[in-house]
Amino acid sequence: MSSDIAWLSAAELADAYRSRKLSPVEVVRSLIQRMEKYDGIVNSFITLDSEAALETAKLAEYEIFHGRQRGNLHGIPVGLKDNIDVAGLPTTCHSKILLNNLPRRDAHVVSGLRAAGAVILGKQSLHEFAFGGPSPELPFPHAKHPWNTEYHPGGSSSGSGVALASGFTPLSIGTDAGGSIRNPAGSCGLVGLKPTYDLLSRRGVFPVSPSVEHVGPMARTVRDIAVTLDELIQIDRRLPETSSPLDLKLPELEQGVKGFRIGFVRNFHEEDMIADPQLISALNEVARTLEREGAIVRDVRLPRVQEFAAVHRVILLSEAWNVHAPWLRTRPGDYTTPTRRKVMAGAFLTAGNLVQACRSRDALIGSVDAAFGEVDVLLTASALDPVCRIADQAELLRTYARHARSPFNLTGHPALAMMSGRATNGLPLSVQFVGRRMGEATLLRTARAYERATQWMSTNPKPFNA
């Protein structure tokens, strides 16, 4: 039964609670036991808060079984990237710099999860400060791909993706300043959503680059993404200062894409940065699948992906340097080499560079908005290469910068990555869908139609023989 619990979705768990086939305590205890047995193989969690999780599960069980179920996240286990504050738990950002950082207040998104009755399991591994990469200099071991531990699981929300793909939790919350939710989601055969900029508050999240950074959900199914986002939005509606007009229209999630206009952005992966042939083939099949489902697929051209990436990089590095300059001047040896090298590049940028980047950003936002005058959803590449081995540092450096995710951090449009096939190495390939700002309902409906038509998400290998 414990292995069955490990692979239940959040929606399935909520149904099981309502019918009393399972209890939150039974589920949380089973997942903790699984993590204690297997997480040493993949290093997905930095802090596992077992005692508090079980106490929360007991309260949820009492409330649900006495007819007071708060919603679809009540009693559902959730893991958090360790740059998101939880009162009383360290927020280390996977760095020696913050090993003693103990926040007194929950991040806004954590307050929302608690109000929904979710069970916080603990804090998950990440690239140092959501910026570095795998390194032996880290204070805790870096996360490994659960399908094959020799491969990189994607970052920076590495542990969040690994925990989902390992059957340790049905939901994770990550952050995304340049693809950090979508990269591990696509790499590990999951679903990851970067919502519209500022849809979910970043209060209590250690900043990477505030003007391009997003908070968002990761899960094994599109429905779990939709339900999680909907619950958090509904809770925010009770607070005037964070009220959102967005309606995810959950009853319409299963209604398909017939008549939807899908804009296929081929130039990103066929001209600008030519993708691996396996990725190109998979993306073409995604387009054909959506056409078979009744969508109207047409080519859409956006500015070169390198132009988006260059503008994004100036803004990201300028803001990251502003955050880290004091520590880099006084404690440079406490950073890992990958993080130090990346952030130091921001010291050489000028105010003029940043001003010009912000002007260019406005034009690039306009180009994407103009595309949405003709289509409902964009279909693009996410990664441009299959997942590579962690030990192959040259290939890791080459491929990590080859992606089409940062354009939509720059523009603030919602973007979702999910599995689109398998490479010859057996690991997932991915696709990215992009929606209008506040267009998450249409975006999620498209992703769900593709998920239902292909069943990639239900055929993933289960690691650890369970």
Active site residues: 81, 156, 180
Longest CA pairwise span in the chain (Å): 61
CA dihedral 200, 206, 210, 214 (to 10 degrees): -30
Residue-wise burial string across 185-220, b where 16 or more C-beta atoms lie within 10 A, e elsewhere = bbbbbbbbbbbbbebbbbebbbbbbebbbbbbbbbb
- Give the count of beta carbons closer than 10 Å to the beta carbon of residue 141: 14
Which of 457, 445, 432 has the alpha carbon at shortest distance from 257?
445
What residue ranges in 275-356 does DSSP mark as E strands?
296-299
Instruction: Determine whether 432 is exposed, middle or buried from the number of CB atoms within 10 Å of its CB (0-12, 13-18, 19+).
Output: buried
Q: What is the 8-class DSSP label of residue 403?
A: B
Which of 448, 457, 438 has the alpha carbon at shortest distance from 295?
448
Alpha-carbon distances, residue 368 vs 222, 301, 323, 413 (angstroms): 24, 9, 29, 9
Give, for 123, the enclosing helix (H) or strand (E).
strand 119-124
3-class secondary-structure state, position 41: helix
Six-digit token pair at 418?
């999910």
Q: What is the 8-class DSSP label of residue 295?
A: -
Q: What is the 8-class DSSP label of residue 142?
A: P
Instruction: Determine whether 305 is exposed, middle or buried from the number of CB atoms within 10 Å of its CB (0-12, 13-18, 19+).
Output: buried
**262 near 380, Cβ under 8 Å?**
no
| Residues linked to residue 428 through DSSP beta bridges, in sequence order | 422
Lookup result for tokens 């999860």: 113
| Residues linked to residue 417 through DSSP beta bridges, in sequence order | 192, 432
| Residues linked to residue 421 through DSSP beta bridges, in sequence order | 429
3-class secondary-structure state, position 456: helix
Q: What is the 8-class DSSP label of residue 254?
A: T
